[in-house]
Amino acid sequence: MAEIPRPIVLLHDIGAGRTRQGAATIRVGRSFIAKVVRAAAGLPPADEQVPVTVEMTANEDGEIWRRRFGDFPLDTRVRPGKAPATIEETLGPVTAILRLVPDETGVQQIPEGYRLLGLSLPGVLWPDLDVRESAEGGVYRFKVVMRLWGVLIQSYEGWLETTDGT
């Protein structure tokens, strides 16, 4: 198994809870489909180097991640998946089942399935989700790109500090 870069390990070591600060650039698709999906999912608007705060809190079955892109909230629940090396992340009524694939530069999250209100979605309705955590120069970095049927819905990428002072 690959050694996961230290900034990624530090970011995910939340104990009972931890808050991290950073910045991100958000890009959004301009198509009608992109606008509908973003509105339904409650995704943040486009912005350049917007301040990001992520408050991570442990709960009985996983973690609550409360992200703020500027003043815009984006909250998810994250818990261990049923299969080895998977997590389940829930945003509103949608749960993504993601396989974690570590390598020497970071962790890739690969979709293995989606549920809407607890019901499995057929593959044709799955968004293409590209999620990558990495470290560069000792800094935690993230990149998320979501497409549906080849159409960009949203992407965001940026960094979070991982010092022990927060």
Q: What is the rounded average pLDDT of the residues 56-61?
A: 94
Is 159 a residue whose pLDDT tops 60? yes
Q: What is the rounded average pLDDT of the residues 94-112?
A: 95
SS (H, E, C) 94-152: EEEEEEEEEECCEEEEEEEEEEECCEECCHHHCCEEEEEEEEECCEEEEEEEEEECCEE
Is 165 a residue whose pLDDT tops 60? no
Per-chain mean pLDDT for the chain = 93
| Pick from 2-16, 30-44, 46-60, 150-164: least confident | 2-16
Contact 53/80 with Cβ under 8 angstroms? no
Q: How confident is the model at residue 81 (pLDDT cuts 50, 70, 90)?
A: very high
Q: How confident is the model at residue 2 (pLDDT cuts 50, 70, 90)?
A: low
List of residues 6+ apart from 163 with CB closer than 8 A: none
More confident residue, 138 or 80: 80
Structural domains in the chain, CATH included, are: 6-160 (2.40.128)
At 86 the pLDDT is: 97
At 163 the pLDDT is: 75
